[in-house]
Structure 1
Amino acid sequence: MTVDLTSVDAVLFDKDGTLLDYHATWMPANRAVAHALSAGDEGLAARLLARGGYDPESGRVRAGSPLAAGDLQDIVDAWATLLPARLTQDPDALAARIDALFIRHCVPTPVTALDALFDALKARGLKLGVATADSEAGARASLGPFGLLERLDFLAGYDSGHGSKPGPGQALAFCDAAGVAPERLMVIGDNRHDVDMARAARARYAIGVLTGTTAASELAAIADAVFEDVGFLTV
């Protein structure tokens, strides 16, 4: 399918694996959080990573796994049965601790010069948003250093009140906030959850990129088009 930017008024980006290189950004953080929770138990840390979707042989996280596509609660649920009772007796405290650890250890690695990309898109009159499975606080912490927060018309995490992917809530909330019809919306992501959200919201385009955890063949089977990264927007 040919992607025609003149047929859209808004672009909604996934964050991790789309604006930020997933493995460069999150594998160091995943390891650090797993080791912090395991208190030096290397075996437990390895089991936590594996339960989250990490494959030590390939060094990559499996597409669709909790660490790749889940929100904080998905990760907490995946790890809780492996953790000692002293950590799991208060689920809310455990979730807050894991979220704080991820924010502390995340060192975001952008896939391109994001400020220049966003400026170019804004110059075309496009509304820009981010919809992520991360918390809103986590999203602000990882995107803020690149000057993106002031360039965005919308930002939503799983805890922003619009639901989680693959439901349409975040995409439809962006359309409402931006005053854009869903059929004039392009959604860009690295995961099936992003494509499913776009379809559920009846967006014009569901675009896949290869800077995350999903193989090109898998994305090509479900997305309208697949590109190496978001740089295709400025070609």
Structure 2
Amino acid sequence: MKVLVPVKRVIDYNVKVRVKADGTGVDLANVKMSMNPFDEIAVEEAIRLKEAGKADEVVVVSIGVKDAQKELRTALAMGADRAILIVAAEDATDDIEPLAVAKLLKAVIDEEQPGLVIAGKQAIDNDMNATGQMLAALLGWPQATFASEVVVNGDSANVTREVDGGLQTIKVKLPAIVTADLRLNEPRYASLPNIMKAKKKPLDEKTAADYGVDTSPRHSIVNTAVPAERSAGIIVSDVEELVSKLKDAGAL
């Protein structure tokens, strides 16, 4: 079975994001970029399936700017077999919308014919949480979102999902779309020998036009602003003062 994993290039989660002075977006100048953490978890899960003998090949796909080669090489160093880069934007500030991403991924899936697609549940830059669901709809495949455990058995998979009320386990027939939650696994660090080997692994570069997909945005950002600062907390001396403060604030 072949497993396909989409990965996205985002601002590194350790970086403090700065908004441009004119409010037109986020400042990306000299900012460290890395693989979306949820996608990194998805890559790790695909590699574990291969190590367990449940998968034969792991293919990673990224859609965006040419510089996303770095994140694909990271996935290859972790243990993926090959990568596909679809150049669909000239500038890192041009975020490809979920529907266009889903259409491009569908085109790749039609070519690759994977038995399972594992994606991150959302990207930490726009928090859309939509691509996996849209892809499942376009393909007509079953989907299991927010996965905290994936067990593949033959032509089906048991997926434990994190829902508001606790955990839910469902069974989906393969091929299927699974989106990874935070507690699915702990991604490995790529070793130096594997980083060197990754440079020789195949990485195919294509464009959105090669798949006949229009990536023109359907919405525009009107303004970007930093969230309002929260007022500082206060220390109360006893329960009576706490109750009094809450009453004055209208919380009780």
Q: TM-score, normalised by structure 2?
A: 0.39
More helix by share: 1
Structure possessing the higher radius of gyration over alpha carbons: 2
More strand by share: 2
Choose between structure 1 and 2 for higher RCO, CA contacts under 8 A separated by at least 6 residues: 1
